[in-house]
Amino acid sequence: MSINELRFITTFVRTAELGSLSRAAVAQQISPQAASKALGQLEQYLGVRLFHRTTRSLSLTEEGQRFFEAAQPSLISLQQALQAARQTREDLAGPLRIVGPRTVLQTVIGPVLDEYCRLYPEVQPDVQLDDRVGNWVEDRVDVGFRLGNPPEEGLIARRLFPMQLLICAAPTYLRKHGAPLSLHELDAHRCSAFRQANDGRIVPWRVKVGDSLQDRQVRPAFCTNDEALELRAVLAGEVIGQLAVPTAATLIRSGRLVPLLLEHLSDDYSLFLYYGSRAAQPARVRRFIDLAVERLTGNADFVLRNEELESAKVKGMEAVIKDVRSGTRLTRCFR
């Protein structure tokens, strides 16, 4: 049934209930001319006359009476369904389906989810973390997060912050193995790599070389499809890793990780929040979007400035050199 057909039937039922075309027009907040036209188009569509009409009176024909008795209960049920849907739109209770990549997202949206759940305890978040790019419609997503470039057309995307990828190591690794001075020297070091869960592919490190960005394959001494496990290996001093700054920022600021090869930091990707038409969203979805945008857009907790990186590198390497009794090799690496 089209919207026009629904409008025609509503005009007919209201006219029969009120016994007046003009009253039906007032009830629907339309002009008497529009109401008369709607009735005429309905009669033309059905091929029967629904009312006996004169300038002073109006009554149902036999066909009109039968149609009224059949249409009125269905129209009432449909209007109740429409009203329930409108109420749901403003309801702050119900499910909220959120999707995003497993990588990084736990660190980023965890605090936002905690705050949202405190504010709106009647909402039931359903958070699915998956590094694959799914189908937004088929997966019935309310709000999504994505690393890289903006999502496909038909969705609204909000850029939250640049996704920096940084090569770093723990002080214990640097004390044992020294620090690479170039990308070429990485070949002589123990590096970690991330393996895609969906196809088993080892993800190359994405590095900046001059004004361009390149994918650089590493020979992994440690490989996993879990970011937390990779971080654990880097913190233990077993490997050098390329980590996303939202994961590494706190550890770099505290001195537990030392940033390396800063000239090769990659920041061409971003974290995006995306969603469908804002006009049709339930209130619980709009409130989450607003909170996430407010808390995450340009959030300095997840981005390291050049000054911070340089300072962290200097302090970290100075601490490493100080701890090493025979510092010849590491002194060379720090030049």
Question: Is the model's pLDDT at 151 over the cut of 70?
Answer: no
Rounded alpha-carbon distances, angstroms, from residue 316 to 23, 46, 174, 309: 81, 83, 10, 10
Question: Is the model's pLDDT at 198 over the cut of 90?
Answer: no
Confidence tier at 116 by pLDDT (50, 70, 90): very high
Question: How many structural domains comprise the chain?
Answer: 3
pLDDT digits (tens, 9 = 90+) for 223-280: 998 888 999 999 999 999 999 999 999 999 999 999 999 999 999 889 999 888 766 6
Residue 64 pLDDT: 84
Rounded alpha-carbon distances, angstroms, from residue 83 to 56, 90, 279, 314: 35, 11, 17, 64
Average of per-residue pLDDT values in the chain: 85
214 and 328 assigned to the same domain: yes
213 and 187 assigned to the same domain: yes
Q: Which of 6-10, 15-19, 70-74, 295-299 has the highest mean pLDDT?
A: 295-299
User: What would the mean pLDDT of 7-20 be, rounded to a whole number?
Assistant: 85
Strands 94-100 and 123-129: what pairing? parallel
Q: Distance between terminal CA atoms of the chain? A: 76
Confidence tier at 332 by pLDDT (50, 70, 90): very low
Confidence tier at 88 by pLDDT (50, 70, 90): low
Residue 236 pLDDT: 96
User: What would the mean pLDDT of 173-195 be, rounded to a whole number?
Assistant: 93
Query: Two tokens at 279?
Result: 């006009």
Tell me which of 103-117, 141-155, 185-199 is least confident: 141-155
Question: Is the model's pLDDT at 219 over the cut of 50?
Answer: yes
CATH of the domain at 261: 3.40.190.10
233 and 137 assigned to the same domain: no
Last residue of a domain, one of 89, 120, 145: 89
| CA distance linking residue 125 with residue 95, whole number of Å | 6
Which has the closest alpha carbon to 267: 101, 102, 148, 100? 148
77 and 199 assigned to the same domain: no
Whole-angstrom Cα Rg for the chain = 32
| CA distance linking residue 297 with residue 271, whole number of Å | 9
261 and 278 assigned to the same domain: no
Backbone angles phi, psi at 190, to 5 degrees: -85, 115
Residues contacting 109, CB < 8 A, separation 6+: 98, 100, 127, 145, 292, 296
| CA distance linking residue 242 with residue 230, whole number of Å | 10
Residue 2 pLDDT: 60
| CA distance linking residue 77 with residue 13, whole number of Å | 13
| CA distance linking residue 216 with residue 213, whole number of Å | 10
Q: Which domain holds residue 101?
A: 94-160+271-296
Which has more pLDDT, 315 or 151?
A: 315
Residue 260 pLDDT: 97
pLDDT digits (tens, 9 = 90+) for 23-41: 888 888 888 888 888 888 8
Residue 4 pLDDT: 73
62 and 156 assigned to the same domain: no
237 and 112 assigned to the same domain: no
* Bridge partners of residue 95, in order along the sequence: 124
210 and 312 assigned to the same domain: yes
Strands 94-100 and 58-60: what pairing? unpaired
Count other Cβ atoms within 10 Å, centred on residue 238.
18
